[in-house]
Amino acid sequence: MLLDKPRLQALLDAAAVSAAQGLDSRRLFHGRGQCYPGREHIVVDFFQPVCVIIFFAEPANGELQQLLNELTPLMPTPVDTIVVQRRYLEGSPSEVLRGQIPDVWCAQRGELRFSLSLDRQQNLGYFLDMEPGRVWLESICAGKKVLNLFAYTCAFSVVAVAAKAEQVVNVDMSKAALARGRHNHQINDLDKRNSGFLPEQILKSWSRVKKPGPYDIVILDPPSFQKGSFVASRDYAKLIKRLPELMPAGGEVLACLNAPELPVNFLSDLFAQYCPGAKLIERLPASKDFPDRHPDRQLKLTHWRVEAA
């Protein structure tokens, strides 16, 4: 048996809602957390009506077929397409094994939708493990001005604008990612006056990032390593030291770190040195869909409160 069938069935049962609303997107199996010995290379995601199987190492002979045999009977009826992505190969190629990708394919979160695409890219356009951060932002953003750094396809912004944020400023060096972010706002019928999009290299554009402020909430969600633009171990400090300029009246910060090799006290040490007026409120609990044998290697989502300058 490859999958944790009881847990998988429980997730699917919990995710089941009315057909009219659709099923929320979920991680169905998370081998990467090393809770399932011998299955560390397998991940299974569900984006209605598509099931995405990701291999981080070459599957053993017959392993893919066994996985399909176990998975198929458990899938909710809207699933009619199965995709395999092979992250261990250059370019992370994807292959449609069954059915076809819909012309309009979205991750679903309640009533919100987020455009997805294979497009020969490793990431589909929506990160399931970031859900605790979206829940946190949703709970505090009403009437606030939000700065979303390294916005990618702007999922944080969609959630915040839908939750009545006054304004969200999205900053990312990728114009293509921000274009998809604008599209995500459009398909959710969100007022375009509540969101802005700045295609900037963040570490070189602080004056343009600062200009729409001051901000009440700042989200720091950088890549752990992006050649030529950002290396977390080297550059995260440059973000933290700018916080007092971005929010001189103080405010809330969500500092995210997706680098298994860096412990959570990496962020604590940087805040202590470069923004001593900030207080750690909590590390947000990780999504239950992403169990991990070593919690310090999980995605780190930390909530800080910055005092007025």
Q: What are phi and psi of 163, to 5 degrees?
A: -95, 15
pLDDT for the residue 19: 43
The answer as to whether 137 is a domain residue is yes
Same domain, residue pair 139 and 108: no
Same domain, residue pair 240 and 148: yes
> How many domains does the structure of the chain reveal?
2
Query: Taking CA 163 as the corner, what is the angle to CA 159 and CA 166, rounded to the nearest 5 degrees?
Result: 105
> What's the pLDDT tens digit per position in 140-182?
999 999 999 999 999 999 999 999 999 999 999 999 999 999 9
The predicted model scores a pTM of 0.92
Same domain, residue pair 181 and 248: yes
Assign residue 244 the CATH number of its domain. 3.40.50.150
- Could you list the residue range(s) of the whole structural domain that residue 156 is in? 128-306
Same domain, residue pair 30 and 61: yes
> What's the pLDDT tens digit per position in 12-30?
666 555 444 567 898 988 9
pLDDT for the residue 43: 94
Same domain, residue pair 105 and 174: no
Same domain, residue pair 9 and 102: yes
Assign residue 74 the CATH number of its domain. 3.30.750.80
Same domain, residue pair 53 and 23: yes
Mean of pLDDT over the chain: 91
Over residues 118-127, mean pLDDT: 84
Taking Cα atoms as reference points, which of 299, 306, 261 lies closest to residue 283? 299
Same domain, residue pair 100 and 167: no
Q: Tell me the one-letter amino acid at 44.
A: V
Contacts 24+ apart (CB under 8 A), 82-86: 82/50, 82/51, 82/53, 83/50, 83/51, 83/52, 83/53, 83/118, 84/52, 84/53, 84/54, 84/55, 85/52, 85/53, 85/54, 85/55, 85/122, 86/55, 86/58
How many Å apart are CA 150 and CA 119, to the nearest integer? 20
pLDDT for the residue 145: 98
Same domain, residue pair 85 and 204: no
